[in-house]
Structure 1
Amino acid sequence: MKKIYAVLLAGSIIACSLNTAIAQTAKPQDPALKIYRATPTKINDLVHTKLDVRFDYKKRYMYGKEWVTLKPHFYPTDSLRLDAKGMDLKTIAVVKNGKNIPLKYTYDDSLTVAIQLDKVYQNNEKYTIYIDYTAKPNELHVKGSAAINDAKGLYFINPDGTEKDKPTQIWTQGETESSSCWFPTIDKPNQKTTDEISMTVPAKYVTLSNGRLASQKVNKDGTRTDTWKMELPHSPYLFMMAVGDFKIYHDKWRDKPVDYYLEPKYAPYAKDIFGFTPEVMEFYSKTLGVDYPWNKYAQIVVRDYVSGAMENTTATLHGEYVQGTKRELADRYYDAGRSTIVHELFHQWFGDYVTTESWSNLTVNESFADFSESLWAEHKYGKDAGDEHIYGDRMAYLSNPNLKTKDLVRFHYADKEDMFDQVTYQKGGCILYMLRNFLGNAAFYKGLNIYLTTNAFKNGEAQQLRLAMEEASGRDLNWFFNQWYYGAGNPVLNISYKWDDATKTQTVYLEQSQDGDAFILPMAIDIYAGGKKTRHNIWMKDKTDTLTFAVASKPDLVNVDGDKILVAKRNETKTLAEYVFQYFNAPLYLDRLEAIDFAAKNQGDKGGQKVIIAALKDKYYGLRIRAIKALNLTNDDIHNAALPVLVTLAQTDDNNLVRAAAITALGKLKASGNMNLFKQALENPSYAIEGAAINAIGMIEPQQAMTLAKNYEKDAEGDLAQAILNVYATNGTDAQWPYVYDEFKNGAPQTQFNLMKKFADFTGRVKNPEYAQQGIKLIGDFGVKYKQYGVAPQVIQILTGIKNERAKLNDTESAAQVDKAIEALK
């Protein structure tokens, strides 16, 4: 599962995890946190699940017949309990000699069904239960979470075809325990079963499920029955179905089919969106020493998905954000879409091939998938890209103090959905990155190979990972797992330095100031002196440590945590001169980033200027953008040095995002002399560059930008579309309102988040009260939708601002609608 979220905070729109918003909302201690969440007891084991289903699009029902084969796990039993949420159960029988013998059962709160078997079964006996049922997902009273915003398992998208420009689709979402909304099962991750799913659908539609397409039968009533067989065992939450008008692009990895299912609009770009998948499969197979373990791999993009993506075995389901046209994708580089593609693929090993035995140990699924994003970035795009990605993960965790009490492996939680947070994902991924650095690549990947091969098609937990790593490396790792997996928080590392010229001694003072015990921290300390670097590998085992090093001359730089790998908050006392040296001599992405950020605060100093100007030409595009955004162009020295560089970057940089950032920086100068540069940029095929150019022109000549925006409306996508919305929302009149309203209403969540403030300002100033009320309703509905995530106070603040503006226009009706919208948010 990859989760993609954004959240409204403090009246401005920023991207982050909704988990952060939830965590930062003060709540009383939940009594549920005192409950020990044991690994589910296995009384019966799933063996094989056979389903025959058809769909009622009008009623949003699924009519199902199931033959589920089981056996007692160890102890003899005469009963069976299955999860079956919100279903009509018509028949439950045991199959004997081809006949269905009805069984007695009780259906508890329409959640689980307790079945009295026909006899006591031993653990060497299999039995098959037949169930005739109707699934009614839209009638379920279930709630989602910050990670997965709905939990009804089976989704009918535009089933009546009444929503314009939206296809009719059906798809499923099983994680965590929602597969039991569409078929009765033991809906726990420590169960594994083979399966066969037959779907009867309108013949015009395509289907997808786990495993191989075993047969297709055309029926006389205009339907077709597709049968998919999954012949290797996997967990029920990884079952999937999808039905709709999809075009299939056929690719392959070695001799295995790799297929991409897309709506017809995006079918021409299938190779652009997913085409690197076989390359990733090859890299992961070689790195792990375990070839991709399934018979095929498919990826499908669906509408209105309830999270980011889901790693269903052999058939990953993606939300719309991964797709795009060739022009859109040219601006994305290693974006959320591409990182999600590799994330879900890594799950085919970590999560599907070996599955967490309980949600408490979700780290063996999600931490690995998070880690894989940086692993691929490092391999494909270079170490700077990998380090940037893992640094983003590290900061996502470290910036949220409310996560500091959560263990990575947690046996106490209020809801299993709470495990899908920045501890399991980002912190867990960073811990694996740190473990790899400590053990070395060869030992680390050998350990992963041992873990995978030992537990193939079974379940795993963090202790088995520890044993595998110890077997591979020969090192005891209890200390590492105790503090990082079974403990909470992170070190807060205070670092200071002292040079004694008389004794030629460099002293490094280390202090861990976090509450609780000291973390054991193996780390590298690099000392740069006399034109060379000397590395010292040390272990910090106490809350304070004083280290002394004999050095022939005063060091130019002492670089603690030379590999920049620790999951720690660092407070360091370095001079600007040391950061200047660090930028030009220390090799890593984070070395340069730290220097750029420090220099950005010291642009009045020659050393800060030297770094910030040099960083405009950094080898890594992400740091070039960082430097551009940090420029203080009101400083004459910076302005004069940066201006020619910015012009060159805007015109010739090989990265579209750098060019767009340079144009944006130039636009803020509001210098008419740059107008030709901006107009030339409008001829670039990059949406990011075109969008930056329109915004820059709008800074100088708003009406010209409005005219240009009108000319580009029809074919605008991506950043260009957002730029047009921005220009209209900033400078537009009632004439532009219908376009802004429709685009905002139908825009992706991130677009809405990015433009919320501008949209609210436009809503406040339009002349037509009907338009104002349309905007108020959109913003109010947004607040209600995300109220559970703590955004209501900020939305109320925005609505209050609109009310004040409408009052100035004597629009009492719109002001009254604001009051109603605010009331709904209280």
Structure 2
Amino acid sequence: MKKGFISSLCMLAVFSTYAQVQGQKDDKAMDVYRETPTRINNLVHTKLDARFDYSKSYLLGKAWITLQPHFYPTDSLNLDAKGMDIKTVALNAGGKNTPLKYQYDGMNLRIQLNKTYKRNENYTVYIDYVAKPDELKVKGSAAITDAKGLYFINPKGEDKTKPTQIWTQGETEATSVWCPTIDRPGQKTTEEIMMTVPDKYVTLSNGKLISQKKNADGTRTDHWKMDLPHSPYLFFMGVGDYAVVKDSYKGKEVSYYVEKEYESVARRIFGHTPEMMAFFGKVTGIEYPWVKYAQIVGRDYVSGAMENTTATLHQESAQQDARELVDGNRWEDVIAHELFHHWFGDYVTAESWSNLTLNESFADYSETLWNEYKYGKDAGDAAGYSAMQSYLSNPENASKNLARFHYHDKEDMFDAVSYQKGGRILHMLRNHLGDSAFFKGLNKYLTENRFRAAEAHQLRLAFEEISGRDLNWFFNQWYYGNGHPKLDISYKFDDAAGKVTVIVKQTQEGEKVFRLPFAIDIYEGGKKSRYTVEMNSRADSFSFSYKQRPDLVNVDGDKILLAEKKDQKTLGQYVYQYKHAGNYLDRREAIEYAAGKQSETIAQNLMLQAIKDPYHGLRILALEKLDLKNPAIKSSAEKTVAELAAKDPRATVRAQAIGLLTAYDNAAYTAVYKAGIKDSSYSVAGKSLEALAGVDNAAAVEAAKQLAKQPVKGALVVSLTTVAAENGIEESVDAINKAFAQMPLSQEKVEILQPYGQLLAKTNSADKVKTGVDQIVHFREAVPAPYRTQFDAFINNMILQGVQNAWQKKGSDAQELVEYIKLKRSGDKKGF
């Protein structure tokens, strides 16, 4: 699973962190040891006949579930079956159903079997039931905002702006809302699903489509069959009016299910999938193990994406039009993430939610691996840096173990510890063992545990067997311990003795001392010498001889440590590091340090060099940090900034440069802005609109009106809303209402709230304002519960209050809308 919302929503994380920490201090649930669930019966095969009542959002189901005792003989069976109407429970044998006694409490179905069954003795139970997901009261989490398992999207077709779809979401234990099962990740079963749907719709499920039968009533029954075992949380059903774009990989079908509007760009979004399959097969030594691979996009999906075996589900953010893709495929990392799960998570599955990182750390790390392979080491390191910052940005993360046996709820495991910290730990282990041993270790782990469930110790044993090294210390420190080191790094040079001493202190709170192997690179006379050291104490020093004072001593030469660092290098040393050390993080560290020293000439020179860095991400960073209030920098940078604005091959760099050109107050650039508004890139068009507003506001207003007549997506949404809010451009409100509604839960949606509210406050159409208020309230209600309290206050007391105050000034004619906004602020759902 990819957490599409929470991984980026930093503002809400800040709102909620304190409340979460306080709540967990007194939480009795945190004292419970979350052991691996005891296995009494094992799933063997699941067969489901599913029909759908669109008018009630019901699933009419018939299930045949084959099981066998795990070890000890048993005469009973306990199935998870949440919120169902149970009609029949029977033993199915010899083509006959014999009723069985059972008890059902609305969550668990306890069945008395007809006899005591022994180990390896199969039996099949038949259950006729109705699943009612919309009537089930369950809560989600920050990562998975809802847990009702089965979702009917616009089932009656009443919303003309939204397609009718059905999709399922099983993780963590929500498959049992629509299919009775033993809903635990350690269970494995083969499976077949028959779906009867209106003939106009396509279906998708796990495995292979083996038959389709048209029925006399205008429906069609599709039969999907999964011959390899996988866990119940990976079961999937998808139904809708999709375009299906076919691809292939080594004779296996690869397909992309998208809304028909996006059929022409489906390959631009998902088209790297076959190459990813080849790459991941190469690095793991195991070819893609499943019969097919399909990817489907679902409206109103409750997370980022989900790795249902052979049938990954993506949220609608995956669908990008051609102009959005000019700025880069924002969903490519997610595509890699979910695909790698088909090795780590689907092929070998974490045996309990306590070991979730065995699924998610590898999926997170796949983003680094793919970027490194496809786009170069800088891109891979940039992905890794971003992941590490996601972990470090929340202080609460430091208190959590990677493999975690104490938590409030299983949903809490879906966080930056299981994902991003786990990915960075894998990166350190890869560096420590070397690529050959690391990837051979992955192959051994996957091979020995295929189609089974595993825990972190089995990963350790695989790496130990391959490398010949004991890794208990590493796993105890990083998997079964918490926190990360905070390092203070200083240097003492003794030219008389020809010796440099590197002093590294661990300054993190508490008594824990980390064992840290890393490289120290000494740059002397234009040559680099590498020394591998290991830190084992709260403070360690390492001494090295030299003939002439080194230009640079670079601690953690490969930049792989998961740590917060205070490195006491000089500006001159950072300049040398940028030019000669070369890694993405070497250059990034130098840019960030020089950005704080731009009054000094050598820092200015570094910044001017960095805006031409070979990697586009660092060009953008340097442009963001460039201090154009400094006359020397402003003068020296103008030519380069103008060239970047006009010619950089990356649209996002051009957009950033266009934003900087406004500082020059040069009428000559007005033509650049006007041309940029027509650019194929939304980010370039948006920045150009904002820039034009600064030099010719009247022209910007007219341009905004024209842009509002076209699709408004991506970076253009924020820019158009900002200019429209400043000028009260009512002609743009419909387009912005629509664009806001289509934006997924994201940091960008938070950032647009203020100008969006300002625009609604200036709008004279009550209907348009009502639509906008409804969209803001819908966003408020969609925010996960752990983030709601402070966010509700922000929405209600700042954004909606501002709109209400503006309309109160309009007099009695506006009273009806004012009362409507008051009701919406209070959470009342009465109509207008």
TM-score, structure 2 as length reference: 0.95
In the other structure, the counterpart of 2:561 is 566
Q: Secondary structure of the residue that 1:332 maps to in structure 2? A: coil
Q: Secondary structure of the residue that 1:761 maps to in structure 2? A: helix
Pairwise CA distance, 1:795 = 2.6
Name the CA shift for 1:454/1:488 in 2 (closer, same or farther; >3 Å): same
Q: Map of 1:42-121 to 2, 5 A cutoff?
A: 42-108=39-105, 110-121=106-117
- CA contact under 8 A between 1:706 and 1:732: conserved in structure 2? no
Which amino acid letter does the alignment assign opposite residue 612 of structure 2? Answer: K
Q: Map of 1:360-509 to 2, 5 A cutoff?
A: 360-509=354-503
Which amino acid letter does the alignment assign opposite residue 555 of structure 1? Answer: P
Name the CA shift for 1:574/1:768 in 2 (closer, same or farther; >3 Å): same
Partner Cα separation in structure 2 for residue 228 and residue 769 of structure 1:
50
- CA contact under 8 A between 2:662 and 2:694: conserved in structure 1? yes
Is 1:158 the equivalent of 2:154?
A: yes
Partner Cα separation in structure 2 for residue 405 and residue 457 of structure 1:
33
Instruction: Spell out, residue by residue over 1:68-94, the C-alpha distance to the aligned partner (whole angstroms, 9 max, x if none).
Output: 000000000000000000000000000
Which amino acid letter does the alignment assign opposite residue 489 of structure 2? Answer: I
Partner Cα separation in structure 2 for residue 795 and residue 687 of structure 1:
27
Instruction: Spell out, residue by residue over 1:722-777, the C-alpha distance to the aligned partner (whole angstroms, 9 max, x if none).
Output: 43233212222444434433433444334532311111222334456665565555
Alignment counterpart, residue 531 of structure 1, candidates 502, 523, 526: 526
Is 1:34 the equivalent of 2:28?
A: no
Pairwise CA distance, 1:479 = 0.5
Which amino acid letter does the alignment assign opposite residue 208 of structure 2? Answer: R
* Structure 2 residue runs without a partner (length 5+): none
Q: Which moved more, 1:577-586 or 1:766-775?
A: 766-775
Partner Cα separation in structure 1 for residue 820 and residue 391 of structure 2:
39
Is 1:182 the equivalent of 2:171?
A: no
Which amino acid letter does the alignment assign opposite residue 471 of structure 2? Answer: L
Q: Which moved more, 1:658-667 or 1:798-807?
A: 798-807
In the other structure, the counterpart of 1:795 is 795
Provide the alpha-carbon RMSD of the alignment. Answer: 2.0
Pairwise CA distance, 1:51 = 0.6
Which amino acid letter does the alignment assign opposite residue 701 of structure 2? Answer: M
Instruction: Spell out, residue by residue over 1:599-632, the C-alpha distance to the aligned partner (whole angstroms, 9 max, x if none).
Output: 1111111011011100010000000000111111
Partner Cα separation in structure 2 for residue 586 and residue 190 of structure 1:
46
Partner Cα separation in structure 2 for residue 207 and residue 436 of structure 1:
41
- CA contact under 8 A between 2:704 and 2:732: conserved in structure 1? no
In the other structure, the counterpart of 1:667 is 662
In the other structure, the counterpart of 1:5 is 5
- CA contact under 8 A between 1:729 and 1:740: conserved in structure 2? no
In the other structure, the counterpart of 2:129 is 133
Name the CA shift for 1:73/1:395 in 2 (closer, same or farther; >3 Å): same
Instruction: Spell out, residue by residue over 1:175-228, the C-alpha distance to the aligned partner (whole angstroms, 9 max, x if none).
Output: 000000001000000100001111111111101100011111111111111000
Partner Cα separation in structure 1 for residue 715 and residue 33 of structure 2:
48
Pairwise CA distance, 1:557 = 1.2
In the other structure, the counterpart of 1:783 is 780
Which amino acid letter does the alignment assign opposite residue 728 of structure 1? Answer: A
Q: Map of 1:687-766 to 2, 5 A cutoff?
A: 687-716=682-711, 717-750=713-746, 751-766=748-763
Pairwise CA distance, 1:442 = 0.3
Which amino acid letter does the alignment assign opposite residue 127 of structure 1? Answer: Y
In the other structure, the counterpart of 1:252 is 248
In the other structure, the counterpart of 1:10 is none
Partner Cα separation in structure 2 for residue 322 and residue 704 of structure 1:
34
Partner Cα separation in structure 2 for residue 100 and residue 580 of structure 1:
78
Pairwise CA distance, 1:815 = 6.5
- CA contact under 8 A between 2:725 and 2:762: conserved in structure 1? no
Partner Cα separation in structure 2 for residue 801 and residue 500 of structure 1:
64
In the other structure, the counterpart of 1:346 is 340
Is 1:602 the equivalent of 2:600?
A: no
- CA contact under 8 A between 1:498 and 1:506: conserved in structure 2? yes
Q: Secondary structure of the residue that 2:709 maps to in structure 1? A: coil
- CA contact under 8 A between 1:308 and 1:318: conserved in structure 2? yes
- CA contact under 8 A between 2:501 and 2:543: conserved in structure 1? yes
Partner Cα separation in structure 2 for residue 732 and residue 123 of structure 1:
74
Partner Cα separation in structure 2 for residue 269 and residue 211 of structure 1:
26
Partner Cα separation in structure 2 for residue 607 and residue 23 of structure 1:
40
Q: Secondary structure of the residue that 1:414 maps to in structure 2? A: coil
Q: Secondary structure of the residue that 1:188 maps to in structure 2? A: coil
Q: Which moved more, 1:601-610 or 1:809-818?
A: 809-818
Partner Cα separation in structure 1 for residue 725 and residue 382 of structure 2:
33
Q: Which moved more, 1:168-177 or 1:694-703?
A: 694-703
Q: Secondary structure of the residue that 1:685 maps to in structure 2? A: coil
Partner Cα separation in structure 2 for residue 301 and residue 824 of structure 1:
31
Name the CA shift for 1:250/1:782 in 2 (closer, same or farther; >3 Å): closer
Instruction: Spell out, residue by residue over 1:555-589, the C-alpha distance to the aligned partner (whole angstroms, 9 max, x if none).
Output: 21111111100000111211111111111111100
Q: Secondary structure of the residue that 2:10 maps to in structure 1? A: coil
Instruction: Spell out, residue by residue over 1:675-713, the C-alpha distance to the aligned partner (whole angstroms, 9 max, x if none).
Output: 012223234322222222122111222221121122233
Name the CA shift for 1:440/1:311 in 2 (closer, same or farther; >3 Å): same
Partner Cα separation in structure 2 for residue 326 and residue 819 of structure 1:
40
In the other structure, the counterpart of 1:234 is 230
Instruction: Spell out, residue by residue over 1:91-145, the C-alpha distance to the aligned partner (whole angstroms, 9 max, x if none).
Output: 000013211110000012x001100000000012100000000000110001111
* Structure 1 residue runs without a partner (length 5+): 8-13
Partner Cα separation in structure 1 for residue 328 and residue 69 of structure 2:
51
Q: Map of 1:319-334 to 2, 5 A cutoff?
A: 319-333=315-329
Partner Cα separation in structure 2 for residue 759 and residue 723 of structure 1:
11
Is 1:518 the equivalent of 2:484?
A: no
In the other structure, the counterpart of 1:11 is none
Residues matched between the structures, number: 816
Partner Cα separation in structure 1 for residue 512 and residue 6 of structure 2:
35
Name the CA shift for 1:457/1:64 in 2 (closer, same or farther; >3 Å): same
- CA contact under 8 A between 2:685 and 2:716: conserved in structure 1? yes
Pairwise CA distance, 1:433 = 0.8
- CA contact under 8 A between 2:745 and 2:783: conserved in structure 1? no
Partner Cα separation in structure 1 for residue 558 and residue 821 of structure 2:
53
In the other structure, the counterpart of 1:283 is 279
Q: Secondary structure of the residue that 1:27 maps to in structure 2? A: helix
Is 1:225 the equivalent of 2:259?
A: no
Q: Which moved more, 1:547-556 or 1:146-155?
A: 547-556
Which amino acid letter does the alignment assign opposite residue 523 of structure 2? Answer: Y
Is 1:551 the equivalent of 2:551?
A: no
Partner Cα separation in structure 2 for residue 821 and residue 573 of structure 1:
53
- CA contact under 8 A between 1:23 and 1:403: conserved in structure 2? no
Name the CA shift for 1:250/1:818 in 2 (closer, same or farther; >3 Å): closer
Q: Secondary structure of the residue that 2:399 maps to in structure 1? A: coil
Q: Map of 1:584-623 to 2, 5 A cutoff?
A: 584-623=579-618
Which amino acid letter does the alignment assign opposite residue 397 of structure 2? Answer: L
Partner Cα separation in structure 1 for residue 541 and residue 804 of structure 2:
60
Q: Secondary structure of the residue that 1:607 maps to in structure 2? A: helix
Q: Secondary structure of the residue that 2:127 maps to in structure 1? A: strand
In the other structure, the counterpart of 2:260 is 264
Which amino acid letter does the alignment assign opposite residue 476 of structure 1? Answer: D
- CA contact under 8 A between 1:5 and 1:17: conserved in structure 2? no
Partner Cα separation in structure 1 for residue 427 and residue 88 of structure 2:
51
